Chain A
Amino acid sequence: MTRVFATVLRRDLRLAARRRSDALLPVAFFVVAVSLFPLGIGPEPQTLRQIAPGIVWVCALLAAMLSLGAMYSGDLVDGSLDQMLLSGPTPGQASLAVAAAKSLAHWLVTGLPLTILAPLLGVLFGVAPAPIVALTASLLLGTPILSLLGGLGAALTLGVRSGGVLLLLLVLPLCIPTLIFGAGAVVAIDSGLSARGHFSLLGALLILTMLLAPLATAAALRIATE
């Protein structure tokens, strides 16, 4: 199964590299969306510093969701998904490898750039250095969770008419704990408190999601293609 995993991952990364502008759209959205808030709320430094963790986190969440619709739909339409499911001894095993590879690819192409860009946005909001580090660390742990849950949503809504928005409706509630612990960690550090609890919980969520989400996504893929 590692063969299928590696092949699909390599292919998806190569395809993303060929369409670099498409791949970076969510990142562009991230920056634009975050910038809207000071314009909407007012440039007062104190306020901005306070709302920064929540805003950056929510915008990262929404930006990560943007490229989910395309995770499987292209492959469904041109028949590539069927071939992927036939690449293993059973469709069940193959779909597991595919689900894991796709989520990882999504994180590398979308989640990781968002995480790297976050400190810059923190500076825009006048956030102090320690919380900026916490912000980056929390996103580093949290964005993989978003990619994994997003993959599940994408597989569930595969080929469905109103799939795009439906996908958001399904996935966003599931991401709420991640958002709470992630943004909460930054707020805690900003208030001078320890964020160890937050990070532990975030880490635990990541591990749990890494174990369970690919299985559920694989099941969803089989449901969608059977």
Chain B
Amino acid sequence: MPSSIRFFHFASPARFYALATRWSPALWVLAAVLAAAALYIGFFVAPTDATQGDAYRIIFIHVPAAWMSMVLYLAMALWAAIGWALNARLASMFARAIAPTGAMFTFLALWTGALWGRPTWGTWWVWDARLTSELILLFLYLGYLALVDAIDDTRRADRAGALLAVVGSVNVPIIYFSVKWWNTLHQGASITLSSAPTMAQSMLIAMLLMTLAFWAYAFAVVFKRTQAIVAERERHAQWLTTTRKLETA
């Protein structure tokens, strides 16, 4: 009985570990190629915008980064919830691996948002509805990371993180709505970051390519991080199993 339990726990992360090793190089290459293509098109091929000049080009990084930050949060919550509900260890490890990358993309979105706002508004930060929501999303990520890090027991940390991530996911639409409300209903003109220029086809292609590049990058990084987590967690189980087998012999 015990040895089969150990094996079941071990097999799934082990299989994933091998899979990740096989796919990693391709993912990194794909990310690099797509990013290069996106940047080339974004910076050299897409036309200069009539109203915003060349400053708008930052959206080729800003918008995909913002998308990634939101999608990764949901992915993190989903994997964490699966890990909790089905007691699937690999799923929980996945969620933990996604979090730092999601936070990074959020930070990137905020930073590029500031860079975009600077030429348009003359200040480094604007309390635009989307940027403010991004900022709150960063808080949610940081909260998750802080919580799972503070709890020593990994199982409890995974579960508490899953609950927090699910609660956060439910709150994200509420937060976004309330921030939009706050932004438009307060006295004064509605403050929005420069709206994206009407899209020429090349602009759309550049954003799409960058999004795909970010996806490939995210996969590569999350895989790597998951491998590290697997190595850390499963090594103890391996050691324990081997030790017990020696004892029963």
Residues on A lying within 8 angstroms of B by beta carbon are 152, 156-157, 160-163, 166, 169-170, 172-174, 176-177, 180-181, 184, 187-188, 191, 201, 205, 212, 216, 219-220, 223-224, 226
Contacts and interface: CB of A to CB of B under 8 A. Distances in A.
19 contacts: A157-B147, A160-B151, A166-B143, A166-B146, A169-B142, A169-B146, A170-B143, A170-B164, A173-B140, A173-B175, A174-B168, A176-B178, A177-B177, A180-B178, A180-B182, A184-B182, A219-B163, A223-B159, A226-B156
Interface string B161-187: 001100110110011011101100111
Query: Taking chain A's interface residues, is the majority helix, strand, or loop, or is none over half, making it mixed?
Result: helix
Given A160-B151, A177-B178, A180-B182, A169 B163 contact: no
Contacts of B139: 169, 172-173
Given A156-B147, A184-B182, A223-B160, A176 B175 contact: yes
A138 B160 CA distance: 31
A166 B136 CA distance: 16
A189 to B, nearest CB: 13
Interface of B: 136, 139-140, 142-143, 146-147, 150-151, 156, 159-160, 163-164, 167-168, 170-171, 174-175, 177-179, 181-182, 185-187
Given A156-B160, A156-B163, A223-B163, A166 B147 contact: yes
Contacts of A152: 167
Contacts of A226: 156
Contact of A162 (B150, B159, B171, B174): B150
Query: Taking chain B's interface residues, is the majority helix, strand, or loop, or is none over half, making it mixed?
Result: helix
Contacts of B185: 184, 188
Contacts of B171: 173-174, 177
Given A160-B150, A162-B150, A223-B160, A184 B170 contact: no
Contacts of A173: 136, 139-140, 143, 171, 175
Contacts of B175: 173, 176-177
B176 to A, nearest CB: 9
Nearest to B182: A180
Given A166-B150, A170-B164, A180 B174 contact: no
A17 to B, nearest CB: 32
Contacts of A177: 171, 174-175, 177-178
Contact of A223 (B140, B146, B156, B168): B156
Contacts of B187: 187, 191
A152 B139 CA distance: 17
Contacts of A219: 163
A207 B203 CA distance: 44
B178 A212 contact: no
A162 B149 CA distance: 10
A161 B163 contact: no
Which of A156, A187, A216 has the most chain B CB atoms inside 10 A of its CB? A156
A184 B186 contact: yes
Contacts of B186: 184, 187
A211 B151 CA distance: 27
Given A169-B139, A170-B147, A180-B182, 17 more contacts: A156-B160, A160-B147, A166-B143, A170-B164, A173-B136, A173-B139, A173-B171, A174-B171, A176-B136, A184-B186, A188-B185, A201-B181, A216-B163, A216-B167, A220-B160, A223-B156, A223-B163
Contacts of B160: 156, 220, 223-224
Contacts of A223: 156, 159-160, 163
B148 to A, nearest CB: 11
Counting from the closest, the 10 A-B pairs by CB-CB distance are A177-B178, A173-B139, A180-B182, A170-B143, A223-B159, A180-B178, A160-B150, A169-B143, A177-B174, A156-B160
Nearest to A223: B159
A180 B181 contact: yes
A57 B23 CA distance: 52
